[in-house]
Amino acid sequence: MTPADLSPSPSEALRRTREPREIAADAPFFIVMNAGSGRKQSDETRAALNQVLGEAGRTFELRIVDDPSRLADAATQAVRDATAQNGVVVGAGGDGTLCAVASAVFGSGCPFAVLPRGTFNYFSRDHGIPSDPALSIPLLLSARAHPVQVGFVNDRMFLVNASLGLYPKLLEDRELYKQQFGRSRLIALWSAAITLLRRHRHLRLHIEHDGTMQEIRTSTLFVGNNRLQLEQIGMEEAPLLERGLLAAIAPRAIGRIAQIGLTLRGATGRMSDADNIISFAFKQITVTHPSKRHRAVKVATDGEVTWINMPLEFRVASEPLLLLKPEADVASANRS
């Protein structure tokens, strides 16, 4: 039998990538935390880590990042250290922080874990990871690394969603309101309502999908990679994410009052009932502007807004992220 005969078939190799991976009982944890969550929260997290991981005799390093611009560098260094010591990289913060840390982990072979400390925590909730540190920290000691799907827009990764148009503007305004009035879901919803009442322009976009080209006029293009979020707004494409797809959502060109009505439908879980919504599932789409193909546009990925040059390629990543999470039955019970 030749070495080629001993190598796994493509289907066998794919099956192995989908199997959970055991974590070494002495694997150290390298925890990257965004200090933007507040000094009190940082102190509480450190105390909880000392109590749970310290008493279990597990080694960990908590690296608190005060400057958001240094978050990617801190995550990259954590990946280097985890790789050298057969450890686990942990992101602590909201979805934006988790995505920044996961971006550094992706492709390294290191397991990734999360301690959710954000407002909505869609990523952790979708995977059954509790928001309470008293429950999420002990999970680090018992969970296996499961492969989970991530998305990309060009070279930028996202865990939950990516968007352009009105949605990034909503996120920018929400951040301004949070700085003035504090972080809460009520403040987030209030800022969204104010933004929707203002005049906004529509985008003309060409979307290439499965060999066909479609032109749309819309206020925003939203691409989802989070079943929980899509279920909450009532999108029928939500279950398709588990089949290795992303979901695209774009409202047709409508006025401000109609836009608010559509948002209310989403808030009550009835978005898919709307007549003025375009939605479909996909593995890859390419988005261009009909007259300015290489223009730069604002794109939001997991709440973080940046400029990206068109064309925009939204796609499912070719390999998964290895996430420490509860087993399927427990994760399903924890989703809320």
**What's the CA gap between 209 and 199, in Å, rounded?**
30
Question: C-alpha dihedral over 285, 287, 290, 295, to 10 degrees?
Answer: -150
Q: What is the pLDDT of residues 163-219, one digit of tens each?
A: 998 867 777 656 665 666 666 566 555 555 555 556 667 789 999 999 999 999 988
The type of residue at 206 is H
Does the 3-149+319-334 domain belong in CATH 3.40.50.10330?
Answer: yes
**What is the pLDDT confidence band of residue 7, given thresholds at 50, 70 and 90?**
very low
Q: What is the pLDDT of residues 38-84, one digit of tens each?
A: 567 788 889 999 999 999 999 999 999 999 899 999 999 999 999 99
C-beta separation of 298 from 306 below 8 A: yes
- The answer to whether residue 268 scores a pLDDT higher than 80 is no
pLDDT at 16: 47
Q: What is the pLDDT of residues 10-39, one digit of tens each?
A: 334 344 457 899 999 999 999 999 987 556
Q: What is the DSSP letter of 184?
A: -
The model's pTM: 0.84
**What's the CA gap between 316 and 290, in Å, rounded?**
24
pLDDT at 122: 95
- The answer to whether residue 289 scores a pLDDT higher than 90 is no
Residue 327: partners with Cβ closer than 8 Å, 6 or more residues away: 20, 144
* Domain boundary assignment for the chain: 3-149+319-334, 156-316
Q: Which architecture does CATH list for 156-316?
A: Sandwich (2.60)
